């Protein structure tokens, strides 16, 4: 894993360029459940990742950006990529103080997911400090090419991630049936998710509707 430490947004382009991201790439940001994801929701989302997301990004050379820690959807992405020996970049973005291999590690910290190709360590001491950086890392890697966000499960931090994506004009695909934040947005009954649920940039796809998920992801990523 190539570990990249940055302390300011201004330093991000040079740091990513030095790490090999010199040419633009479409980017899929995946946000969502970590340790609190149920086994049933984990199995459903794993199936969508294996059957739709990984084959699509691998065939199109799309870079995937996520939270980078060894749990939930981030672990599933690392495992699924390794299982098929895919070569697309898998880039984690995590606040330094939430990583268990930092010194000293904070309570509730987590280890990096070891199958990621890159880990961008950014300033912060708590979960959610990385949220604005996810979109920034994606935009720097994309260099003007399409960026989209996929939401699988998740909690309050995930809702913050979604907000950053939408405010930046990034399309958001919500995988309903994966629980928690994703299902709250899909149901559109919770005032706290109204911004995401009502945005014209938000698309909701059921976790079992794999052909529809493939079609929507191709559309928002500009693949036709």
Tens digit of each residue's pLDDT, the chain (224 residues): 999 999 999 999 999 999 999 999 999 999 998 878 888 998 999 999 999 999 999 999 999 999 999 999 999 999 999 999 999 999 999 999 899 887 666 677 899 999 999 999 999 988 999 999 999 999 999 999 999 999 999 999 999 999 999 999 999 999 999 999 999 999 988 888 999 999 999 999 999 999 999 999 999 999 97
Three-state DSSP class for residue 31: strand
Give Cα 25 distance to the centre of its chain.
15
Which residue in 22, 21, 18, 116 sits closest to 66, CA to CA?
A: 116
Whether the predicted model's global pTM rises above the 0.75 cut? yes
152's enclosing H/E stretch is strand 147-152
CA distance 50 to 34: 18
Task: Pick left, alpha or beta for residue 215 (phi over 0 → left; psi -120 to 50 → alpha; otherwise beta).
Answer: alpha
Are 170 and 31 in contact by the 8 Å Cβ rule? The answer is no
């Amino acid at each position: 894993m190539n570990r990249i430490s940055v302390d300011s947004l201004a330093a991000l382009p040079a740091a990513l360029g030095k790490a090999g991201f010199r040419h633009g790439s479409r980017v899929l940001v995946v946000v969502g459940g970590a340790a609190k994801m149920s086994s049933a929701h984990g199995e459903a989302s794993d199936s969508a990742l294996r059957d739709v997301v990984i084959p699509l990004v691998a065939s199109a050379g799309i870079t995937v950006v996520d939270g980078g820690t060894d749990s939930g959807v981030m672990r599933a992405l690392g495992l699924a990529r390794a299982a098929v020996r895919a070569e697309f970049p898998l880039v984690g973005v995590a606040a330094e103080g939430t990583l268990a291999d930092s010194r000293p590690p904070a309570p509730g910290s987590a280890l990096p997911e070891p199958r990621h190709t890159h880990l961008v360590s950014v300033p912060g001491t708590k979960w959610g400090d990385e949220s604005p950086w996810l979109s920034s890392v994606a935009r720097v890697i994309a260099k003007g090419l399409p960026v989209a966000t996929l939401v699988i499960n998740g909690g309050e931090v995930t809702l913050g991630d979604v907000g950053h994506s939408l405010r930046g004009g990034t399309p958001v695909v919500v995988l309903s049936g994966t629980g928690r934040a994703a299902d709250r947005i899909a149901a559109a009954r919770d005032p706290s998710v109204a911004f995401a649920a009502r945005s014209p940039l938000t698309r909701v796809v059921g976790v079992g509707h794999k052909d529809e998920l493939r079609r929507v992801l191709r559309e928002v990523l500009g693949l036709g």
